[in-house]
Amino acid sequence: MENKYLVLAYYKYVDVENPHREVMVHKKFFKNRDALGRIYISEEGINGQISASEEVANSYMKWMANRKMFHDVEFKIHEHPQHTFHKMTVKYRKELVALKYKVDLQQGGEHVSPQKWREMIESGEYVLLDVRNDYEWEIGHFESAEKPDCRYFRDFPKYADQFKEKYDPEESKIMMCCTGGIRCETFSALLKENGYKQVYQLDGGMIKYGLEEGTKHWKGKLFVFDERLSVPIDNKTELPAISHCYICKEPADMYYNCADVECDRLFLGCDRCREELQGFCSEQCLQKVQEKNSVS
Ligand SMILES: [Zn+2]
Ligand SMILES: [Zn+2]
């Protein structure tokens, strides 16, 4: 029988009185259960991505639904034939989204449903701001999305000034999106602190959009932070690649980490180049490891 795993992505901002204790409670729940992933718990809430057998995933969601703090956590669910993580980490974190300074999360942008989001795109009245990192943007994004001018979005506070020169805070209507929604909570609040009056965030992020609205207005793949690295936005429809192999420049939308663990560079490689370089990101990395092996 074919295995079926569920990949869950979820977060909730909620006051967690004793996050260290909650870490223990979570660890206890997952002990001896078939689940892997990454769960961060802080005073301000929870952020998790896990893969689990269907049975364990369902019992986890049920368990969460029965807990006052987490009863309304919304899970975005993909099916997958295997685990998408190789270990389980449940950890305390001071902030769920790292940013150099504090923003008032209560002041975030207005949440809009995937359907409303699609209608807003179609109206053509909005600036669509993708707040992911540039390597995520590279393999897939909404058609009309601006490429963010920073490699890592935690640099956004710096970028906000340039953004203001381009888009008037009083007049501009900003649609903000990210993978699962959590980064928009922070960055939409930041944008509003910068004087923007009309800021909207895609509820549940691109994952939920893909599940509800399919591939409409989307190009390429969706980058995800697990072993899959990229998935079709609706988790089933393969769209043409919009990105290119770093080596031969042919279309490619599969990211790999260089087989040299010291290098570990995230790179886009087509099947042919990847085979020729034996999973390394470059001739140099391949040679380096070959030389090392011939010495020892
Ligand atoms: Zn190639
Ligand atoms: Zn390398």
Residues at Cβ < 5 Å from ligand 1 ion: 245, 247-248, 270, 273
The pLDDT mean for the chain works out to 93
pLDDT tens per residue, range 259-271 = 999 999 999 999 9
Find the 78 Cα to ligand 2 centroid distance in Å.
Answer: 31
Find the 203 Cα to ligand 2 centroid distance in Å.
Answer: 37
pLDDT at 1 over 60: no
Q: What is the mean pLDDT of residues 191-209?
A: 95
Please identify which of the residues 177, 178, 245, 273 carries the catalytic annotation. Answer: 178
List of residues 6+ apart from 22 with CB closer than 8 A: 16, 41, 46
Of 72 and 289, which is predicted with more confidence? 72
Find the 268 Cα to ligand 2 centroid distance in Å.
Answer: 12
The pLDDT assigned to 250 comes to 96
pLDDT tens per residue, range 48-68 = 999 999 999 999 999 999 999
Q: Where are the domains of the chain?
A: 5-92, 105-213, 255-295
The pLDDT assigned to 247 comes to 93
Find the 257 Cα to ligand 2 centroid distance in Å.
Answer: 8
pLDDT at 118 over 80: yes
In angstroms, rounded to a whole number, what is the distance separating the alpha carbons of residues 252 and 264?
19
Rg (CA), the chain: 20
Name the pLDDT band for 143 (thresholds 50, 70, 90): very high
Residue 66 burial (CB < 10 Å; 0-12/13-18/19+)? Answer: exposed
pLDDT at 98 over 60: yes
The answer to ipTM > 0.90 is yes
The pLDDT assigned to 281 comes to 94
The pLDDT assigned to 128 comes to 95
Name the pLDDT band for 296 (thresholds 50, 70, 90): low
pLDDT > 70 in the chain, percent = 97
pLDDT tens per residue, range 230-252 = 999 999 999 999 999 999 999 99
pLDDT tens per residue, range 176-185 = 999 999 999 9
pLDDT at 151 over 70: no
pLDDT at 25 over 90: yes
The pLDDT assigned to 60 comes to 98
What's the CATH superfamily of 105-213?
Rhodanese-like domain (3.40.250.10)
Pick the CATH number of 5-92 from 3.30.70.100, 3.30.365.10, 3.90.190.20, 3.40.470.10: 3.30.70.100
Strand-pair category, 173-177 with 5-13 = unpaired
Strands (E), the chain: 5-13, 35-42, 45-53, 76-80, 88-92, 110-112, 127-130, 140-142, 173-177, 198-202, 218-220, 222-223, 230-231, 255-257, 266-268
Active site residue 258: no
